A and B are shown apart, each in its own frame.
Chain A
Amino acid sequence: MSSKYIALPKGVSEKSFDAAIKEYRAILGEANVIVAEELLVSYNKIMIPDEDEHHTPSAAICPSSVEEVQRCLAVCNKYKVPVWPVSTGRNFGYGTTAPANRGQVVMDLRRMNRILEVDAELCTCLLEPGVTYQQLYDYLQEHKIPLWLSCPAPSSIVGPVGNALDRGVGYTPYGEHFLFSCGMEVVMPNGDILRTGMGSLPGSNTAQVFKWGYGPYLDGIFTQSNYGVVTKMGFWLLPAPPAFKPFVIRYQDEADIVQAVETLRPLRIANIVPNAVVIVHALWELGSMLKRAEHFDGTGTIPDSVVRRLVKENNVGMWNVYCGLYGSPEQVEVNWKIVQGAVKASGKGELLTQEQVGDDPVFKYRADLMQGKMNMREMGLYNWRGGGGSCWFAPVSQARGSETLKQMAMAKTILDKYGFDYVAEFIVGWRDMHHIVDLLFDRTDPQQMKAAKACFGELLEEFSKAGYGTYRVNTAFMDKVADYYGPVKRDVNRKIKLALDPNGIIAPGKSGIWATGGKVI
């Protein structure tokens, strides 16, 4: 190897990097500055269809306090070393912990993992970035606090701060996670500490209850961005409802997505079904428990006929809509009648309760997630195709049946062209849907790697042309997606970046935002 480091930050000499590492060590201690190859493996598992070495970090630094973050950023500015901050660092299918660009130093905030406050009356909490959902869940259980959290499917090992900062989603009534955050503490690139909303006011006790503060609302600019390192974040928690009734509606044909959405939307907008409902395609439903090769040994996309056979054999729907009712037993009863009426009136769909499905493990994991309980079963998707390749294609759609049908058809046509399966779900917001397609591929096969990259590019291209933007994207495609959102937005983002972080030390390239170098428009 020509350098003692496995990678170097772009434009930083080995000598400067030596000096920076020495200073990080003085701040954080030897053990919290990681440069050894056998330790950095943990930071380089990308899974996306890109070469690992494009995302190899030069080092990882692990501060344990706000002051250490500030001091590390000062070193970054001094040597122009870029850092890639992560909270729990499990952004699977979006690049995991690895930086967007080779040589960036991962700033791993997992050691900052204190639950600073849980207010059982106001139903709020204040967390450090390293707190996992499991930790928060255990805390609430141990202290017998009757509050529910909302988590994404990888639940126990990921965390509220990282998830909300990337604008992730969960499955409870608080499933749009950033919407239910309130107040941030941010270390700015120059080391200043900004508290957003009411938090700016010394002595304020309303930072976790009133979002907007005074003047421009800033929290949004610290999500999916690189304008600062978030070191604390407030969230609203859901009071545990006295009654919870999970149910599934199964539809037998792919085209039934139209009825599913048309039936659900009015119930969702009216908050009769208050949670982030998920409409799961059969291959996602089955993919979390089966292995593709055991059911299909042909080449290319799994044929619809095989999917239909698997649907029958495994007693699932072609679409499976998971919803919950929350409230007092009386409210749940009334709402259940409304749901039954709506499904009946639609003329399609089989409505099943927990009692009716028995101990169906997929229903259980969905029911767990709808209550903010930890359940990792969905990770089984990685065994569907095998080979460790996964990236999420996540376009936003209107919550309209015709739109979802159109998006499904577009996605299937493109996936089919490259031999990949439609492993997908729609997560229903009030008026929008996140159409989530897991492009699963085998990273041991160079042809599949290449096909996956081309397929993902074409999905982005065709959907963008049709006016459908993605809500989030992996680190290999950030510039491309930024381009689709247009030059003005890109330019404004860059101007903010230049004003706040002229040296471009925080996550250059995140969401296609660069201060210097990279792709400048």
Chain B
Amino acid sequence: MTVSRRTLLGAALSGGAVAAVGLPAAHAATIGPNPPLEAPRLLVDPRAPRGFLDGACIALQTLGLGGIAVVEPPSDAALTESIAWLTARRGRRIIAMVGDSQAILMQQMAPAGRVRWLSLAQHGSSSEAAFANRHRVTALPANRGLARRLAVELAAAGADFAVFDQPLGGGGATPGAAVPGFVSHRDADGLLHLAGLSAAEGCTGLDRPTTGLAPYASCATTAATGLGWERALGEALALIAADRWPQQAAEAQQIFAGRGRGTAAAAVALTSFVIAS
């Protein structure tokens, strides 16, 4: 496998940011060395936000998991080799943030029924959509709550965003928790949490009807870390890969949307995932 940059975790990230930035307090207590797991492999497209790699690497290092980051648009050969590495032994994990075509290939190369999907999400930014910054998270047993974490960070940063939390299969009857900082609504499809925009504006942007929307009371706390969504995502995927992400109950479908600064950096479409053997 040719790699343009192979980084031993903990070395030379963001000019030594490893030492300077710790994990958010909310998680620090739950983290400790995790000997049974092998160091996950990270596959990261160079277009991925820098904070993502930093977040993942710092979290893994804090967990005592060394590892290898492959930073490049992974070639087909690298994808094949990574899947072979993953499936050669139980307990291995891949954390990835790659282009859509690589994600689809990985998904297809990973032997169905043998590789467990711990997390899967698409991330898009562009100015042409109703929300500049978009995330579509497939809610799975191991990553429940990830969408909420992203939404909270995005809202804290005043971003223009939509986060879709979609349980595989459509989700059950259990409603999700409302989120402080958002005004929550409920309808037959699930929950709609809005920050900085009215129900009517939210529904227009999300292309869904306003009929049947009822207010929904806030009852949970998910505090923003202020790290930014990119870093929060990297950290969350590291925790998920290390089986240290807090277990949460299955919830109904939810959408989080916020009308902040309409800043879509360069238009980019990437897929993140964590898979396990």
Using a CB–CB cutoff of 8 Å, the interface residues on chain A facing chain B are: 1-3, 6-7, 31-32, 34, 36-45, 47, 51-53, 56, 60, 62, 89-90, 92, 97, 108, 110, 157, 293, 297-300, 376, 379-383, 385-388, 442-448, 450
Contacts and interface: CB of A to CB of B under 8 A. Distances in A.
B99 interface: yes
Contact of A444 (B128, B134, B169): B134
Interface string B127-149: 11111001110101110000000
B266 A157 contact: no
Contacts of B127: 297, 299
21 contacts: A1-B173, A2-B173, A3-B172, A6-B168, A39-B117, A42-B112, A52-B138, A97-B112, A157-B105, A293-B126, A299-B128, A386-B99, A386-B100, A386-B269, A387-B122, A443-B136, A444-B123, A444-B124, A444-B129, A445-B131, A446-B162
B158 interface: no
Interface string B156-197: 000000101011111111100000000000000000000000
Contacts of A32: 113
Given A56-B168, A376-B76, A444-B123, A385 B116 contact: no
Nearest to A44: B168
Contact of B118 (A6, A38, A56, A298): A38
B169 A42 contact: no
Contacts of B107: 42, 45
Contacts of A447: 129-130, 207
A448 B129 contact: yes
B113 A42 contact: yes
B113 A380 contact: no
A306 to B, nearest CB: 14
Nearest to B104: A382
A388 B104 contact: yes
Contacts of B126: 293, 442, 445
B101 A381 contact: yes
Interface of B: 76, 99-101, 103-105, 107-110, 112-113, 115-118, 120, 122-124, 126-131, 134-136, 138, 140-142, 162, 164, 166-174, 206-208, 250, 266-271
A514 to B, nearest CB: 23
Contact of B124 (A34, A52, A380, A445): A445
Nearest to A54: B170
A31 B112 CA distance: 11
A40 B167 CA distance: 12
B229 to A, nearest CB: 14
Given A1-B172, A387-B100, A387-B122, A445 B134 contact: yes
Contact of A386 (B105, B113, B115, B268): B268
A7 B127 CA distance: 36
Contacts of A443: 122, 136
A258 B97 CA distance: 43
B269 A446 contact: no
Contacts of B135: 444
A157 B206 CA distance: 36
A253 B60 CA distance: 54
B138 A41 contact: yes
B141 A38 contact: yes
B277 to A, nearest CB: 12
Contacts of B124: 386-387, 442, 444-445
A38 B170 contact: no
**Residue of B76, B108, B110 with highest tally of chain A CB at under 10 A:** B108
B116 A38 contact: yes
B205 to A, nearest CB: 8
B134 A89 contact: no
Contacts of B142: 38
Given A39-B116, A445-B134, A446-B207, A1 B140 contact: no
Nearest to B135: A444
B267 A56 contact: no
B101 A43 contact: no
Given A39-B113, A157-B108, 15 more contacts: A1-B172, A1-B174, A6-B169, A38-B140, A40-B168, A42-B113, A51-B170, A52-B170, A97-B112, A293-B267, A382-B104, A383-B100, A383-B101, A445-B131, A446-B162
Contacts of B105: 157, 376, 379
A43 B115 CA distance: 12
B112 A446 contact: no
**Residue of A52, A62, A89 with highest tally of chain B CB at under 10 A:** A52
Contacts of B266: 293
Contacts of A31: 113
Nearest to A97: B112
A54 B117 CA distance: 20
Contacts of A97: 112
B128 to A, nearest CB: 4
Nearest to B174: A1
B128 A90 contact: no
A444 to B, nearest CB: 4
A445 B129 CA distance: 6
Given A38-B140, A39-B116, A42-B110, A444 B269 contact: yes
A383 B117 CA distance: 22
Contacts of A60: 112-113
Contacts of A43: 112
Contacts of A379: 101, 104-105
B128 A37 contact: no
A34 B113 contact: yes
B199 to A, nearest CB: 16
Nearest to A300: B128
Contacts of B118: 38
